Chains A and B, each alone.
Chain A
């Protein structure tokens, strides 16, 4: 087996916060990402799913070192980048890019589309063959935008088109890794499919590795080779997409899959649904033992005292004392 492009070990990101207790300030930590490990191969897409507050966005940004990790190890293309200073990160950034969730706030409203897409060349001081302008036009064409719109501003584009601009910017330097943070969740269904297909095509053509962060399981299933399910800063289960969706081993994965309504009224009427009780606990004070124990129907005493490790069950890796 070849070496992975990205290797994440025991990654943690704690954000400091505080609470007033009488006249004292008590220092606390939000454990946004609490010890996640995974590998990403060349040309592979890893889906990172979970509900809001599970740490998937923080994980994505920490991998790219847009946020400094608290602990752990990030090895990118054979190089340990965990402790790399920002100045030394810059040349590496040409290899790793991000697509943001909100196509409205990810683009500078005062810059033309041409300038936005050309920004990576400017920052990395690269002049592509045939000049920046020609390359930007080619990129626009590639993501399905009309190159004649080079001088237009972001507000003149629809949501789907803006997301295409963000994608053009991300692929401009032919990166090896793209973190796509909910790239289609702000888009309408009919446009969503267009953008998913575009990402799929670009990846196949360029062999990019993608960390695809999303809360929509149907989308993740469609685009990912492997999927990691996160809950409260931890990976609950990680497996090949097919295995995860056909034979989930973690109760949380099972519940998550069961909660997604499918566009199929007949099966929706008869299907048994697992409805989880309550809400996500606070990441400031996560439950002891397994973080999912407060909402799990299989929880026993051991779940409340001992944190389960990510172990191999069948073809998947699962962090559960009582996997299915």
Chain B
């Protein structure tokens, strides 16, 4: 099937007082209908900048952006990177929509929930006020808000955090988008509410056959909902593959490090956590070689000097599962698989 979203070699750079930040450096990701693709990474890894670029919400005046972000609608397609702003606006919310992390600050406190939802519809269907209001109530019902008629007339402060996130999802779905970008949609929520929202997203995806691009730092959430995963570190994808490959046979030392460092329910608690030493590098002053090299414990397995001097390419013997690492793949396969088994036991 044709991909709904195709990001190719995306590079995003913007200036700060301290110099240029290379937030995204050569990212390629695709999303097919009905599929959930997760971008995992820690703060500053470039995952949010990637997601903002996809709906053209980067600061166009100062940001340098290259590569392509092709969005395929039913019979037309658009490259967000090169398209003019008015064209992007006609896509935003209608073809590609977004849910933001913080449901507390993403709704306008002065306007009724119903009219905020209707606005999203009116932007693309000017003048059709009645249809917009009807759709708003419909969507509130779809996301599981009881008494949607009544609730549509209320203000955001009358909603709990979980309910507000449901409203955000309803708003994003007002125009039946083909692709939904969810940027840390459950990070601000409690676990029991998170479980509700993740279930809701899954159900809606099945019903509407949407493609979802999920941005998160939570490996548990990824394991629960993602089909394919891209792991980002310092602006680059360090590993890409389907969810089982990433969790059960990781090929990038960073992915392995992440998986080993999370405490697991049911694991023996007497053991120390296997933390990744050091800190992520500054995106202004990236190391010349592999960005993870200063924290990596497998450098000795790679050809000497390569990790410090050469940026590794995103490669893999299997085109569905690629990683960036100078250590030969067969060597990684053996050592990493054994270690990940140890972490799970």
Contact = CB atoms under 8 A, between A and B. Distances in A.
Interface in B314-338: none
A180 to B, nearest CB: 15
Contacts of B196: 275-276
Given A52-B161, A197-B272, 14 more contacts: A161-B279, A189-B219, A189-B258, A190-B42, A191-B275, A191-B279, A192-B261, A193-B263, A221-B267, A245-B265, A256-B192, A257-B265, A263-B220, A276-B192
Contacts of B220: 218, 260-263, 268
A264 B223 contact: yes
Interface of A: 51-52, 158, 160-161, 188-194, 196-197, 200, 215, 217-219, 221-224, 241-242, 245-246, 255-266, 268, 273, 275-276, 279-280
Given A259-B192, A260-B191, A263-B223, A188 B43 contact: yes
B158 interface: no
A264 B247 contact: yes
B140 to A, nearest CB: 16
Contacts of A161: 279
A242 B265 CA distance: 10
A217 B194 CA distance: 14
5 contacts: A51-B192, A194-B277, A222-B273, A224-B269, A262-B265
B264 A275 contact: no
A219 B162 CA distance: 23
B224 interface: yes
B194 A259 contact: yes
A259 B344 contact: no
Q: Counting chain B CB atoms within 10 Å of each CB, which of A196, A219, A261 scores highest? A: A261
Contacts of B313: none
A100 B266 CA distance: 27
Given A221-B263, A261-B218, A263-B223, A215 B42 contact: no
Q: Which of B199, B274, B279 counts the most chain A CB atoms within 10 A? A: B279
Contacts, number: 136
| Listed residue (A51, A221, A259, A265) with the most chain B CB atoms within 10 angstroms of its CB | A265
Contacts of A219: 263
Interface in B268-315: 269, 272-277, 279-280
A49 to B, nearest CB: 10
A52 B191 CA distance: 10
Contacts of B273: 193, 196-197, 222
Nearest to B146: A278
B190 interface: yes
B65 interface: no
Given A193-B275, A221-B265, A241-B269, A263 B191 contact: no
B120 interface: no
Given A189-B261, A262-B265, A276-B192, A268 B276 contact: no
A266 B244 contact: yes
